[in-house]
């Protein structure tokens, strides 16, 4: 089945963003797992260290960037998969609107959680 949506066409802007966000997520997750498993062996200790790091603006910013990147990557992937399955017309608009609303809710909740962890670090 040929792809119908240009986002996964090699060379397109959305195609490039999808690859960049995937690479970013892999690097950040690899770094996270390295720290978790080789630096702090106990979950409780790593949680305390992570909570202490949240008080710094750079770590807070990285968490928000990770949240936004993961949300974009996941939603764009789901949208492309549905479009490639033949979703068109009104259903396409409803799915797109639903995914955008879900993304906004996810990001707002993620920022609220990050603020709670950071002790109220402002955006």
82 token code pair: 């549905």
Predicted confidence (pLDDT) per residue in 31-48, tens digit: 777 766 666 555 555 556
pLDDT bracket for residue 7 (50, 70, 90): low
List b or e across 81-93, with b for residues whose CB sees 16 or more CB atoms inside 10 angstroms: ebbeeebeeeeee
This prediction's pTM: 0.65
How far apart, in whole angstroms, are the C-alpha atoms of residue 38 and residue 43?
12
48 token code pair: 């305390």
């Amino acid at each position: 089945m040929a792809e119908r949506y240009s986002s996964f066409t090699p060379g397109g802007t959305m195609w490039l963003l999808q690859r960049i966000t995937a690479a970013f997520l892999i690097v950040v997750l690899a770094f996270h797992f390295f720290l978790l498993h080789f630096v702090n062996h106990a979950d409780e200790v790593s949680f305390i260290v992570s909570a202490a790091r949240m008080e710094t603006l750079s770590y807070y910013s990285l968490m928000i960037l990770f949240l936004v990147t993961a949300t974009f990557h996941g939603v764009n992937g789901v949208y492309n998969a549905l479009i490639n399955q033949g979703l068109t017309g009104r259903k396409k608009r409803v799915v797109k609107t639903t995914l955008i609303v879900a993304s906004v809710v996810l990001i707002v909740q993620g920022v609220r959680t990050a603020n709670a962890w950071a002790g109220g670090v402002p955006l």
